């Protein structure tokens, strides 16, 4: 009888331990709130946003290395701000088209419009660069050309370090 009690107690202990560990291993699902998940950008969005920020800062870093006068700095700042304001509607429309693409509701007309907007924005960026280049002295232009040449040699044709010729 004492041996049977021992086995009964041991069996109960084993059952409680095994059952408790199985219960502890069940995953707890958190209720998802669509409002909070929609507000949080994906990790890729953070990376792209940071990349764009670094690209913009790289362009201005090059201008800083040219030792611009205060007047040149002010004129360049005005050019960039004006072009930024002028393209706000285009950039907003392009953002909406990107959201449609992510949602899977982008049609052929939207794709064509997105290509058109990207082309317009690219032309505006080129015009901005041309306007800023017009502000530079011949010495500054020569220094900028040398910096571009060095950058291309270090980063390859697409601007990536891993594609640079060895």
In the numeric block, which tokens belong to residue 132? 């800023």
Q: Give the rounded distance of the alpha carbon of 102 from its chain centre.
A: 15
In the numeric block, which tokens belong to residue 58? 């790289």
Comparing 26-35, 79-88, 97-106, 156-165, the range with the smallest average pLDDT is: 26-35
Q: Which residue has the higher pLDDT, 48 or 126?
A: 126
In the numeric block, which tokens belong to residue 12? 């109960």
Residue ranges of domains in the chain:
50-154
* Residue written as token pair 């280049």: 133
| pTM of the predicted model over 0.85 | no
The 10s digit of each residue's pLDDT in 72-118 is 989 999 999 999 999 999 999 999 999 999 999 989 999 999 999 99
């Amino acid at each position: 009888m004492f041996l049977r009690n021992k086995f009964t107690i041991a069996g109960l202990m084993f059952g409680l331990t095994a059952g408790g560990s199985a219960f502890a291993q069940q995953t707890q699902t958190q209720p998802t709130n669509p409002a909070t998940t929609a507000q949080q950008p994906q990790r890729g969005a953070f990376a792209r946003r940071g990349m764009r920020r670094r690209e913009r800062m790289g362009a201005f870093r090059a201008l800083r290395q040219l030792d611009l006068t205060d007047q040149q700095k002010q004129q360049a700042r005005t050019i960039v701000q004006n072009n930024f304001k002028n393209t706000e509607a285009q950039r907003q429309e392009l953002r909406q088209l990107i959201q449609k693409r992510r949602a899977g509701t982008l049609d052929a007309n939207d794709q064509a419009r997105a290509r058109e907007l990207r082309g317009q924005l690219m032309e505006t960026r080129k015009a901005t660069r041309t306007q800023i280049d017009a502000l530079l002295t011949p010495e500054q232009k020569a220094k900028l050309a040398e910096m571009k040449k060095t950058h291309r040699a270090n980063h390859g044709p697409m601007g990536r370090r891993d594609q640079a010729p060895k």
